Amino acid sequence: MPLVLGDPTRSSIPIVLTSRSRLRATLDQLPAEARAYATAIGFDGAAGAHLVTPTAKGGAGLVLFGLADPGAERIDPMAFGKLATVLPPGRYRIAQDADAPDTAELAFLLSAYRFTRYRKPKAQDVVLEAPRGARRERLESIAQAVALGRDLINTPANDMGPDALEQAALALARTFKARAKVVRGADLQSGFPLIHAVGKGAAEEPRLVDISWGPRKGGPKITLVGKGVCFDTGGLDIKPGASMLLMKKDMGGAATALAAASMIMRANLPVRLRVLIPIVENSISAQSFRPGDIYPSRAGLTVEIGNTDAEGRLILADALALADEDEPDLLVDFATLTGAARVALGPDLPAYFTNDERLAADIAASGEAAADPVWRLPLWPPYNTMLDSKTADLNNAPGGGFAGAITAALFLKRFVRKTAAWAHFDVYNWSASAKPGRPEGGEIQAARLIFDLVERRVAKK
């Protein structure tokens, strides 16, 4: 179902925004019947509270919706999205004199998302109207890109294995007339041995999808890398059953990179965009890589396998090494990499790492502007010794259990040698329960942030 706003009509129902502190002034501006009804019901304007006032004929007259007061301890920029799920069928508009948050329409669209591949979709019976124009096109583009990523994550591994994820990436490339090439199977061994090692135990071959878009010369080089583990059993270090239940989302980094790329390409930003998606299934067979194995990497470093369930950093290592050879102006990777990041920051606040202070400041500003929050964790150099191996240059899974998100990021940093502006996002890509702007299921985190960041950077050129 496309996530779009409706064209303005004369009969749409106005949404009047208020708050606890503004409620009296808001009620004074309403028609007498609506004011009397709101007072009788006891509507208090609390953040997230809504009320549909009736007309004399029993229809919906207007909608009151409470926002947080300025300075409140918690202000959810996606709060307006709740209305997409609670309003009765009809067409609505934000009242012209309403002081609406910049994120209101986007929050509504993101909340309206439904995963319908395996169920007959319901008609889109709640429509928010907005004038046509560049702003509306941008919001719809962002929402549709997020929906693409969510669909990829929500699709189970029987229908979203390596072949299907490759085809989804190539379909996006075709949509925007991007150039694409794929390295698969045994051909990975010479240039991408870690990707091959992780995926060689699965029925569908491992592969690396390499997409390029934009002019071949001129414009900043932006490279996005996304972890594409279509299902993670943990390999021979097999996960417990409960830990496998959400492993269809282990390709969420790839979905995030493709969503961000869709936003950038649809906006036709003047950049040279590259998207690298290493795709595998971490499965179990006689061909699976083993604990204690040692493999070379594209960067020349040898890696001892301390745990086959730390596979994501291995496939990212080869992809990052390839990206780094091109010395992009900005290199970003997304990965559902560690449970440690979730323990530290929870599911809604992805961790990110960078040593570039300007980039860190830009990420913070864009996260705020795009209502796409993240939190910086340190690339703490003393922890590099945790990656030591007695038989190879690195161990992919140091023992001890401490600083898991940091040591994973430090592992990846070893493969980024030339590029100064690099950031690693350790994302969760899942909402366990529905919230405004974030339906239950697959979620795209940090893509809107990166789109905003790239937009700002090219605007300064």
| Beta-strand pair 179-184/60-66 | unpaired
| Beta-strand pair 272-282/294-296 | unpaired
Tokens 């945790």 belong to residue: 386
Q: Please say whether the beta carbons of 95 and 71 come within 8 A.
A: no
> Can you tell me the distance from the alpha carbon of 369 to that of 371, in angstroms, rounded to the nearest whole number?
6
Q: Identify the active-site residue in 91, 114, 138, 239.
A: 239
Alpha carbon distance, N-terminus to C-terminus of the chain: 37
- Is 418 one of the catalytic residues? no
Q: Please say whether the beta carbons of 187 and 238 come within 8 A.
A: no
Q: Please say whether the beta carbons of 67 and 79 come within 8 A.
A: yes
> Can you tell me the distance from the alpha carbon of 388 to that of 384, in angstroms, rounded to the nearest whole number?
7
Token code pair at residue 369: 């502007």
Which residues make beta-bridge pairs with 352?
A: 376, 425
Q: Which of 232, 176, 180 is nearest to 209 (CA)?
A: 180
Tokens 């989302």 belong to residue: 249
- Is 313 one of the catalytic residues? yes
Q: Identify the active-site residue in 82, 207, 248, 313.
A: 313
Q: Please say whether the beta carbons of 50 and 66 come within 8 A.
A: yes
3-class state of residue 145 by DSSP: helix
Q: Which of 368, 170, 210, 229 is nearest to 298 (CA)?
A: 210
> Can you tell me the distance from the alpha carbon of 30 to that of 95, in angstroms, rounded to the nearest whole number?
12
Q: Please say whether the beta carbons of 130 and 136 come within 8 A.
A: yes
3-class state of residue 25 by DSSP: helix
Residues taking part in catalysis: 239, 313
